[in-house]
Amino acid sequence: MSTTAESTTTEPARRTGGPGSVSVPADRPLGWTRADSARTGVALGVAALLLGLAAWLAVTDGEGLGGSNASFALLIGAGLGILFERGRYCFFCVFRDFFEKGSSRGLYAVLVSIAVGMIGYAVVFSLRVSNPTGGTLPSDAHIAPVSLALVIAGLAFGLGMVISGGCIAGHLYRLPEGHLRSIPALAGVVVGFAAGFLSWDFMYSGFIAGAPVPWLPAGGGYTVAILLQLGVLAGLGLWLLRWNPPVQGRGDRVVDGTEIRRLLFFKRWPALATGAGVGVLAVLAYYKDQPLGVTSQISSLTRTSMDSAGLLPNFMPGLDERLAGCVALVVHTVTTNGWLILGIVLASLAAALPGRRVRVERLTGWNSLTAAIGGVLLGWGSMIGLGCTIGVLLSGTQAMALSGWVFGVAVFVAAGVGFRLGLHRRASPGVYR
C-alpha cells in the first residue's frame, strides 16, 4: 500500500495504486464530517486502551505475561505501528515503488534506519563486548550464519512478499486498515513456519551447521566496521539518486490547524524522518530488551502447538543451542515480542483512522488463495532465515552482521523478479493498476 509523497487521503477517494492507496488533489479541503468525529473517537479509544494496557503491565511487572519488559515492548511496538502506517514503511511498498514507479524514496527510509540503528548498536556493543576482535560475538544480537540456506530463505521470502501483497510487518499494520488479504496471508505464514520446522533438520544439517558467522567488527573493530558500512550505505544512496523524482510543490501554505492535521494524518511522512525514527526505536529495543523482529511470537506458538501434537522432536539442533535471530522456542505465554506485535496492530489502527485510511478490501477466492500461498513462502523463509525483513535484514545490518546484507540482497532480487513479472497483479487482479 503506497501513496506518493505529495498525496493526501480524503473522502471520498479514488483507488489507484493498491490496497488502501488513494490519490486526490493535495490542496483539496479536508473538511470535518460526522464520520470524522466517529473515527477520531475510536482512534482516541484505541490509544487510551494501548496506554492503559501498558500502564497495567508496568504496574504488574508483566507477571506471567512477558515479564518486566512487556510494557516497554508494547510501547516500542506502538511507535513502530505509527511509523509503519504513516511513513508507509513496508518493504512491499518500498520495493514496488522502486520497481514499478521508479521511485527510490522509500528505500532511503531503509538506508537511514540502518545507519541510525548501526551507530546506536555500536554504542551498546562497546558496553557489552569491549574487544570485538577477540572472537566473542554479542549473543543477543541477530548475527546469523551465512549459507546457501539463508539465500534460499531470502528468495522465498521476497517472492512470498510480492504474491501475498506485503511482508509480515506490512500485513500486521495493514490489516487494521481493512486489508483483508492479510488474514489468509498471516494464516499462510503459520503454515509456512510449520513447514519450516519440518524441513529444519535437512536445511540445518545440509547448509547451516558449520557455516561461518561473519560479524564486521570482528575483523578490524567497531570504527572500521562503521566506516565500511556507512560507505556502503552512502554508495547505495548515491546510486539510488537516479530514481529519486523531484517533489512537486504544493503552493503557499498557512500553518494552521487544518495544515497540521493534513501533515500529521493525511500526508505521507517524510522517508528520512520515518527511517530515523525506526532506527532509534530499534536501538532502544535492543538496549532494553531484544532486537526488533515480528516473527518470534508467531513462530514460537507454531512450534509449541506442533510440539504438543508430537510432530517435532523435543530438541532441535541450532534453534535450541546457539543460533541468533528470531529463534522459535516452546512457550506457553505471551512474550515481549507478542506485546510488540500487539502494539504495532493497535497503534497502526489509531494512526489510520483520523486519516480516513480504514477501508475494507474485497476478498475473493483467488486473491485469498494467492495471499495464503505467499504467506506460506513468507513463513518458510522466515523460519529458515531465522527472521524476516525486520528481524534479519534490518536488525542484522544494524548489528553489522553480513547475514543481514545477504538476506536483504536475496529478498531484493526475488522481489524485483516478482514485480517485473507482475506476480502481485496476477495474485490480486483489479487491485494494482
DSSP label at residue 361: P
Q: Supply the DSSP symbol for 205.
A: I
Tell whether 20 is covered by a domain. Answer: no
Q: Do β-strands 22-23 and 14-15 pair in parallel, antiparallel, or remain unpaired?
A: antiparallel
Q: 197 and 304 in contact (C-beta within 8 Å)? A: no
Q: How many C-beta atoms lie closer than 10 Å to residue 201's C-beta?
A: 14
Residue 150 lies in a domain: yes
**Residue 20: predicted pLDDT:** 41
Instruction: Please give the chain's pLDDT, 433 residues, in tens.
Output: 333 333 333 333 334 444 444 343 455 678 999 999 999 999 999 999 999 999 999 999 887 788 889 999 999 999 999 999 999 999 999 999 999 999 999 999 999 999 999 999 999 999 999 999 988 999 889 999 999 999 999 999 999 999 999 999 999 999 999 999 999 999 999 999 999 999 999 999 999 999 999 999 999 999 999 999 999 999 999 999 999 877 665 666 778 888 899 999 999 999 999 999 999 999 999 999 999 999 999 999 999 999 999 999 989 998 887 777 777 778 878 899 999 999 999 999 999 999 999 999 999 999 999 999 999 999 999 999 999 999 999 999 999 999 999 999 999 999 999 999 999 999 999 776 5
Note the pLDDT of residue 15: 41
Cα 158 to Cα 37, 146, 363, 388: the distances in Å are 40, 17, 23, 10
Q: Is 285 left (phi over 0), alpha (psi -120 to 50) or beta?
A: alpha
Q: Containing domain of residue 258, as a range?
A: 25-427
User: Do residues 417 and 203 lie in contact, with contact meaning Cβ atoms separated by under 8 Å?
Assistant: no
The whole-number pLDDT of residue 23 equals 41
Give the angle subtended at the CA of 104 by the CAs of 360 and 75, to the nearest 5°: 55
| C-beta neighbour count of 54 within 10 angstroms | 20
Radius of gyration of the chain (CA): 21
Indicate the number of domains in the chain.
Answer: 1
Residue 224: inside a domain, yes or no?
A: yes
> 123: closest CA among 397, 398, 389?
398
The answer to whether position 368 is within a domain reads yes
DSSP percent split of the chain into helix, strand, coil, nearest 5: 65, 0, 35
Question: Which residues are CB-contacts of 13 (< 8 A; sequence separation ≥ 6)?
Answer: 22, 23, 24, 356
140 in any annotated domain: yes
Tell me: cis bond preceding 12? Omega within 30 of 0 counts: yes
Q: How far apart are CA 356 and CA 71, in angstroms?
A: 29
> Is the residue at 160 inside a domain?
yes
Those residues whose C-beta lies under 8 Å from the C-beta of residue 249, and which sit 6 or more positions away, are none
Residue 320 in any domain: the answer is yes
Residue 15, number of CB atoms within 10 A of its CB = 15
Is 12 part of any domain?
no
CA distances from 180 to 173, 190, 231, 268 (A): 12, 17, 41, 22
Task: Examine residue 145 and say whether the peptide bond preceding it is cis (omega within 30 degrees of 0).
Answer: no
Instruction: Extract the C-alpha cell encoding 77.
Output: 511496538
For the entire predicted model, the pTM comes to 0.91
